């Protein structure tokens, strides 16, 4: 198959290419800074690197504690997640020329393809490494994330590594993201989430899914999702169950871990390392040099970033709770997190936050909530339950992260509100056995 320059760059942005019939060759290259849209100052990224067990140990100064190739990485992980060869990803995506799947990611570099890998319908996300990992650390994280399994989380099946990019392979789930369910630009008055119980089902699934991510993986790793937003939530019909996307992305790409970020920021010297990239039967070895900038790089989406995340760029479980609270407010109101309206008198754009309007509605009590809740529900919802859920969401978006509740507590409260909503829904249903005729008499 003919490979264009664009396709080559997509598959191996920084690594040198070799033919399978040729022996491995060693060359050197320098990682370039990744440009990522962000509301904060841009910073540099550092790539994950690994070393071959077949090469001699280089001089001290590297932080690599375990030297291994991708083949030994594949064999050493318990409950084998798939370590896909990059040639498999290329073949499944037509050498990265296949039509890209609409991605909910905010990163411009996060290209996405829907494809078939090893007989499974999958979605492949391309992302850049944010910082260098020890090989043993990457093995541990990949093993943990691929072992994790929850009905409200889209499962990570495996990864592939090429240069300073990682390809994350997730199972594909048929459905629409929450943004499309709540706000259809072609028909603003319509929503598939037209009943209160459908929205409570989504809120419950999200709460339990994020509680699992934070507290119930049963493994020794504090997991932060860092990509909670309405566009990263898939709604499955007809049950209206919700599933969280991008689980494990933050850990495998190096978007989290405050201590690691500071450690890397303090090292302002180049460190030579070696990387093995498997390509079919052959492999190419290349030396990579890390950028010497110590600035921090992070991603975020306006309206979902907590105040401390905007100022520090450090993702925590409390920043996840903040983003979850914003999603619940979206679910209740049907509105975007932030809206801008042009004021003809002043000539300025006025910003309206769903957090501010929700706080004002909660302060007015029941009547304020009835006016604020999405009108497409046709005033058919239990007001007391809606008020309690609104106040819980406002607790989640508290300015002080220490005053935000833990997701375990949030999930417990939402479960009770779901049961109350189910009782309300059963009581307001039309009694069975009664026929209604709309024919003229």
Element spanning 161, H or E: strand 156-162
Report residues of the chain scoring pLDDT below 50: 1-68, 78, 105-109, 258, 260-298, 436, 438, 441
Cα 320 to Cα 212: distance, rounded to the nearest angstrom: 13
Strands 338-342 and 165-171: unpaired
Does residue 267 lie within any of the structural domains?
no
E strand spans, 343-438: 349-353
C-alpha dist (Å) from residue 419 to 199, 385, 409, 412, 436: 13, 10, 16, 11, 29
Q: Which residues face 128 on adjacent strands?
A: 165
Is the residue at 214 inside a domain? yes
CATH number reported for the structural domain that contains residue 208 in this entry: 1.10.510.10
Task: For residue 5, tell me if it sits in a domain.
Answer: no
Residue 102 belongs to some domain of the structure: yes
Calculate ∠ Cα 28-161-226, nearest 5°. 115
Please report whether residue 366 resides in a domain. Answer: yes
Q: Does 342 reside within a domain? A: yes
Burial zone of 154 (CB within 10 Å; 0-12 exposed, 13-18 middle, 19+ buried) = buried
Residue 40 gets which letter from DSSP? S
Pairing of strands 272-279, 112-117: unpaired
Q: What would you measure as the largest C-alpha separation in the chain, in angstroms?
A: 94
**Burial label, 91 (beta-carbon count in 10 A; 0-12, 13-18, 19+):** middle
| Domain containing residue 224 | 82-257+303-428
> How many domains are there within the chain?
1
Q: How many CB atoms lie within 10 A of CB 128?
A: 24
> What letter would DSSP give residue 304?
T
Q: Report yes or no on 77 lying in a domain.
A: no
Report pLDDT for 282: 35
For residues 71 and 74, what is the distance between their CA atoms, to the nearest angstrom?
Answer: 5
Rounded CA-CA distance 55/279 in Å is 18
The pLDDT value recorded for residue 220 is 66
Do the Cβ atoms of 340 and 349 come closer than 8 Å?
A: yes
Q: Report the alpha-carbon distance of residue 75 to residue 69 in Å, rounded.
A: 10
Nearest to 299 by CA among 84, 108, 46, 160: 108
**Which pLDDT belongs to residue 254?**
78
Query: In Å, how far are 11, 70, 270, 363, 369 from 16, measured between CA atoms?
Result: 11, 17, 20, 61, 60
Encoding tokens for residue 23?
A: 């022996």
pLDDT, tens digit, for every residue of 352-405? 899 999 999 999 999 999 999 999 999 999 999 999 999 999 999 999 999 999
Report the candidate in 110, 106, 105 with the shortest Cα–Cα distance to residue 126: 110
Q: Is residue 178 part of a domain?
A: yes
Can you give the pLDDT at residue 389? 98
Residue closest to 227 by CA, chosen among 289, 288, 168: 168
Using left for φ > 0, alpha for ψ between -120 and 50, and beta otherwise, residue 313 falls in: left
């Amino acid at each position: 198959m003919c490979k264009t320059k664009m396709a080559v760059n997509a598959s191996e942005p920084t690594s040198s290419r070799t033919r399978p019939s040729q022996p491995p060759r060693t060359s050197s290259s320098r990682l370039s800074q990744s440009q990522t849209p962000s509301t904060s100052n841009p910073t540099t990224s550092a790539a994950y690197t690994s070393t071959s067990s077949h090469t001699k140990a280089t001089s001290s100064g590297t932080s690599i504690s375990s030297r291994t190739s991708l083949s030994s990485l594949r064999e050493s992980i318990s409950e084998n997640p798939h370590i896909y060869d990059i040639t498999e990803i290329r073949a499944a995506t037509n050498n990265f020329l296949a039509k890209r799947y609409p991605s909910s990611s905010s990163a411009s570099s996060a290209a996405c393809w829907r494809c078939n890998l090893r007989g499974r319908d999958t979605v492949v996300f391309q992302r850049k490494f944010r910082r260098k990992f020890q090989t043993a650390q990457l093995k541990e994280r990949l093993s943990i994330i691929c072992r994790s399994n929850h009905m409200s989380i889209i499962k990570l099946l495996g990864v592939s590594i090429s240069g300073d990019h990682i390809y994350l392979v997730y199972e594909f789930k048929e459905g629409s993201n929450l943004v499309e369910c709540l706000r259809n630009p072609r028909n603003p008055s319509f929503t598939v989430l037209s009943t209160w119980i459908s929205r409570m089902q989504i809120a419950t699934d999200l709460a339990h899914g994020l509680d699992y991510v934070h507290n119930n993986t049963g493994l020794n790793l504090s997991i932060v999702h860092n990509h909670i937003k309405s566009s990263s939530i898939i709604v499955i019909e007809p049950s209206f169950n919700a599933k969280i996307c991008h689980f494990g992305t933050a850990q495998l790409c190096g978007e989290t871990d405050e201590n690691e970020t500071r450690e890397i920021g303090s090292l302002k010297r180049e460190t030579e390392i070696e990387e093995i990239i498997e390509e079919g039967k052959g492999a190419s070895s290349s030396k990579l040099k890390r950028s010497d900038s110590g600035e921090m790089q992070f991603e975020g989406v306006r309206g979902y970033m907590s105040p401390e995340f905007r100022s520090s760029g450090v993702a925590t479980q409390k920043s996840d709770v903040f983003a979850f609270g914003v999603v619940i407010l979206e679910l209740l109101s049907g509105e975007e997190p932030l809206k801008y309206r042009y004021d003809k008198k002043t000539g300025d754009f006025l910003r309206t936050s769903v957090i501010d309007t929700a706080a004002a509605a909660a302060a007015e009590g029941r009547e304020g909530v009835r006016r604020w809740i999405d009108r497409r529900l046709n005033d058919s919802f239990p007001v007391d339950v809606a008020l309690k859920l609104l106040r819980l969401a406002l607790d989640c978006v508290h300015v002080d992260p220490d005053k935000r509740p833990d997701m375990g507590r949030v999930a417990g409260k939402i479960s009770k509100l779901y049961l109350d909503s189910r009782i309300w829904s059963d009581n307001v249903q039309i009694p069975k056995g009664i026929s209604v005729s709309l024919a003229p008499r």
